[in-house]
A and B are shown apart, each in its own frame.
Chain A
Amino acid sequence: MNELMRRLLFLPEQASDYARDVDHLHFFIITTTMLAATGVFATAIFFFLRWRRRSDSDVTPRIEPTPIHEALFIGTPLVLFLIWFAIGYPQYVRLQLPPKDAMDVFVQGKKWMWKFAYPGGPNSVDTLRVPVGRPVRLLITSRDVIHSFFVPALRLKMDAVPGRYTQSWFTANKPGRYEIFCAEYCGMGHSAMLGELVVLPAAEFDTWLADQRRGDKAVAQDSASTGETVLAAGNLVADGERVAAEQGCLKCHSVDGSRHIGPTWVDLYLRQEKLADGRIIVADEAYLTRSMMDPAADIVAGFQNVMPTYQGKLTPPEVAAIVEYIKSLKTSAVRSGPSAGPVYEPKPRQP
């Protein structure tokens, strides 16, 4: 029954007990709504068929309601609505009160990506990994405007308000991959601000988390001894691609030549770029590096300054890897000149 109704109503999977409970309320409401509406419409249609007009000067009896009618008209919907509320509100309160033993995950929305940070260090972009069967509390915030963290499969949504934390929690009960949307309108990339919730079996999650922590520690130790982090062995281009994906670069810079929030990376290396202030420069290694550290310095004409600085967030080897990756993105077709598109006048944001 649950499954049938869920499919009838196009609802997504239920990845938590909470989602199933909310759906049951949904089914109850939709059933009562349909019954009530059918009742009203059937009555209206019956009246219409039974009492068609015969002449334009028909005289009709004067019918006034008795108190019993009005009591019924008020009482029936009131009782119904209050029952709905009595089921729904406690569910909402439940969502507001995370259990004490919940694992905290910090969620940060920014234009236009989700960042997740776990206690003890590890963090990720756009992919939230959680264990199955254990409560997870989300402390949600934002770096720029209001976003809204929305997982349809959990029937869970909470706004990310800049400068403060909101909270929500869930216990996923089914391993799997579920969509994360941004539900509060946040600008050009609103519909691209997607993420993924990966529910792992508890043991697998613990291993992953431990690996992440060890990796972080290793990196920290390395940098303590040499003053510089080293990347694991591998080819630089592949590393660059991985780092770019992790850091969310590909949210705004396409690698297929299409125009997005930022300039595409395809054929970017050694391209002549016209800047917003009229200068023309060549996108060499120095320019690419500078643009990661101080994005506001050279804004390509036709784009907004929306990119955050990666100063301190990317280690020098990572920067080198990204540059190598950009260099690798070449097409045979030669294209020069600035990327085309509408011009938005930039508005300086006061510090």
Chain B
Amino acid sequence: MNPSLVNPDVPVYNPRNYLNEPATGLRSWLLTLDHKRIGVMFLIATTISLFLGGVFALLIRIELLTPGPTIMDAMTYNRMFTLHGVVMIFLFMIPAIPSGFGNFVLPIMLGARDVAFPRLNLLSFYLYLLGAAVALYGMIHGGADTGWTFYAPYSTTTITKVVPILLGAFILGFSSILTGLNFIVTTHTMRAPGMTWMRVPLFIWSIYATSIIQILATPVLGMSLLLVSVEHAFGWGIFDPARGGDPVLFQHFFWFYSHPAVYIMVLPAMAVISEVVCTFSRKNMFGYKAVAYSSLGIAFVGFFTWGHHLFTSGQSAVDAGIFGVLSMLVGIFTAIKVFNWTATLYKGSISFKTPFAYFAGFIFFLVFGGMTGVALATVSLDVHWQDTYFVVAHFHFIMVGATMMAFLAALHYWFPKITGRMLPEGWGLVGAVMVILGFNFTFIPQFLLGNMGMPRRYYAYPAKFWPLNVASTAGATVLALGLVVVLVYTLISLKWGPVAGSNPWHSRGFEWGTPSPPPVENWETTPVIDRGPHEYDEGATVPPTVSPEPEPTHAS
């Protein structure tokens, strides 16, 4: 079946697909080496994590509904926000888009049959499960009360079960390293014939940049978490002020990973958005090179900015200046992307489907999240905002706002490819509106709370912070309901959604050239790429051509 001969107007459910071949049993899934199945398993696991983290978030918001104790005691509350952070960051945010959607889409986009190291890919999934299990063990046996940042010396002296959680995060780090390693090698060695670097889809550019960060930063996090564990378990004194150790050194190590980790979370979001904006405006990306290189720029410069988390830690003013100025540069790269995405709409053919709605939300959150981020990097304002709800709102704008929007956009965008079925458009828009509005109502009050000076991680608070906290909790409820709506219609559509066909969005992205759901080997014959990935002008051919005789040479 030659995909270029399929009439896109007559949706066909591909009968021979990865879901039913080579077998359908549980065993065939658990031992699969197929990147598509691994991607789907990652999606299921991360979605479960998302809802677990969401429950923690709701409990936190309910506790903060009144100034005093509401439904739990301080210790439980401290555990809640720690678990919320750990689950959302390590179990959902970091793996969701790269390991889930990336795993599924990246090799198909490249015209490859699989990722370069399928076994490592499966190992990555099992490491994820193992890390999750170890962390879960820690949560059940008391959980940690350190906050996800594990600052020494609190984390090294707490009586709670912080070590299993640290080890869980450590193992999850290796899962993330393996995924990154796989993607880099795959992108380098397995591109289809004719796919030069300047014809690589922008999704892959961003995922590639993400992978670089995963490879270079995660080991440092692993080491610092290990050091905290050693310190907590044996008292070796590396961060112990009583023995001359410096707790601030931990903060250096931690943020050397964890600031770039923010880009591990947001770059894949940008990856998805680049695809969505081109498809739904039927336009070539305005400034493909700028968008592609700015991904690499973010990955690179993202490493130079970790010190902006330490402006009030006793860090030297010289370092603060260097880190402050370098942090501005990351803002520039993000600004380039925002401008280019907006400019892409110019003279396009814009269709306001659900993924595009999430794109709109994404741009809104990214602009405000990004600008407040740069404002935080102006050093003197950070002194006021550091560790207040302003920071909380800022990073939720980026991580939940931008990344969640992109995750939902990706879900709606690739759901037809993954399952061969469509999601309901009307309910999709209802869900999108609820999520976006609920999100704004949750976090805009938190910006104001931060301005007022309410510190984060407060179990109880003075009464003057009350009204805004109530508003925030109300918003969180709407947000949660919106997510439940999305979950419900997604589950229903798995079985009863209308058949999508190979290319329901009439996209010219390469992944749409293969039938939906894709066959086990992705492509019947190796596609030959003769154009860029986002081209909608007269001269460009409809989804990637499969020339009768594949050229023998691969691009390298």
Contacts and interface: CB of A to CB of B under 8 A. Distances in A.
* A and B, direct touch (CB closer than 8 Å): yes
Interface of A: 9-12, 22, 25-26, 29-30, 33, 36-37, 40-41, 43-44, 47-48, 51-65, 69-70, 73-74, 76-78, 81-82, 84-85, 87-89, 91-93, 95-96, 144-146, 148, 150, 152-153, 155-159, 161-164, 166, 179, 181-192, 194, 259, 304, 341-342, 344-347, 349-350
A3 B455 CA distance: 23
B1 interface: no
Given A59-B538, A185-B456, A156 B383 contact: yes
16 contacts: A26-B375, A47-B345, A51-B345, A53-B351, A59-B282, A61-B347, A78-B332, A89-B378, A150-B388, A153-B453, A156-B384, A158-B312, A164-B241, A185-B457, A345-B159, A347-B157
A74 B345 contact: no
B141 to A, nearest CB: 11
Interface stretch (B22-30, B71-79, B130-138): B71-79
B286 A70 contact: no
A85 B282 contact: no
B535 A58 contact: no
Contacts of A192: 460
Given A40-B342, A88-B379, A161 B349 contact: no
Contacts of A183: 312, 386-388, 455-456
B453 A33 contact: no
A350 B350 CA distance: 66
Interface of B: 73-76, 78, 145-147, 151, 153-154, 157-160, 235, 241-242, 247-248, 281-284, 286-287, 290, 311-314, 317, 320-321, 324-325, 328, 331-332, 335-336, 338-340, 342-343, 345-352, 360, 363-364, 367-368, 371-372, 374-375, 377-381, 383-384, 386-388, 448-449, 451-453, 455-462, 468, 506, 535-538
B283 A60 contact: yes
Contacts of A81: 328, 331-332, 374
A259 B73 CA distance: 10
Given A88-B380, A182-B455, A148 B387 contact: yes
Contacts of B242: 162-163
Contacts of B313: 159, 161, 166
Contact of A77 (B325, B331, B459, B462): B331
A162 B154 CA distance: 11
B422 to A, nearest CB: 14
Contacts of A52: 349-352
A150 B448 CA distance: 17
B371 A36 contact: yes
Contacts of A26: 375, 381
Contacts of B340: 65, 73
Contacts, number: 290
A342 to B, nearest CB: 7
A57 B317 contact: no
Contact of B74 (A12, A157, A191, A345): A191
Given A40-B342, A60-B347, 11 more contacts: A51-B348, A63-B286, A81-B331, A89-B324, A89-B379, A146-B153, A150-B455, A157-B387, A191-B460, A304-B159, A342-B75
A347 to B, nearest CB: 4
Given A152-B452, A185-B147, A65 B343 contact: yes
Given A69-B287, A88-B380, A92-B380, A157 B386 contact: yes
Contacts of B388: 150, 183
A89 B380 contact: yes
B455 A344 contact: no
Given A60-B283, A146-B154, A186-B154, A70 B387 contact: no
A158 B248 CA distance: 13
B75 A188 contact: yes
A57 B506 contact: yes
A112 to B, nearest CB: 10
Nearest to A9: B451
Given A29-B375, A58-B349, A89-B380, A64 B335 contact: no
A182 B460 CA distance: 13
A58 B158 CA distance: 62
Contact of B452 (A10, A55, A182): A10
Contact of A85 (B311, B379, B456, B459): B379
Contact of B154 (A70, A96, A163, A185): A185
A52 B350 CA distance: 5
A43 B342 contact: yes
The 7 residue pairs across chains A and B that have the minimum distance between CB atoms: A152-B453, A88-B378, A163-B241, A91-B380, A58-B349, A47-B345, A191-B458
Contacts of A156: 383-384
Contacts of A33: 368, 371-372, 375
A250 to B, nearest CB: 15
Nearest to B338: A40
A9 to B, nearest CB: 5
With most chain A CB atoms within 10 A of its CB, the pick from B146, B160, B360, B379 is B379
Contacts of B459: 188, 190-191
A60 B74 CA distance: 58
B241 A341 contact: no
A46 to B, nearest CB: 9
Contacts of A65: 286-287, 290, 340, 343
A153 B451 CA distance: 10
B346 A179 contact: no
B349 A64 contact: no
Contacts of B336: 70, 73-74
A171 to B, nearest CB: 16
Contacts of B76: 342
A84 B375 contact: yes
A84 B374 contact: yes
B338 A93 contact: no
Given A36-B371, A63-B347, A81-B374, A10 B535 contact: no
B469 to A, nearest CB: 13
A159 B153 contact: no
A263 to B, nearest CB: 15
Given A37-B367, A159-B314, A85 B328 contact: yes
A156 B338 CA distance: 33
Given A44-B363, A60-B349, A11 B331 contact: no
B494 to A, nearest CB: 25
A51 B282 CA distance: 11
B347 A157 contact: no
B153 A347 contact: no
A179 B461 CA distance: 12
Contact of B247 (A89, A146, A194): A146
Nearest to B339: A73
A94 to B, nearest CB: 8
Contacts of A344: 75, 159-160
Contacts of B145: 187-188
Contacts of A93: 317, 321
B314 A164 contact: yes
Contacts of A57: 506
Contacts of A56: 351, 506
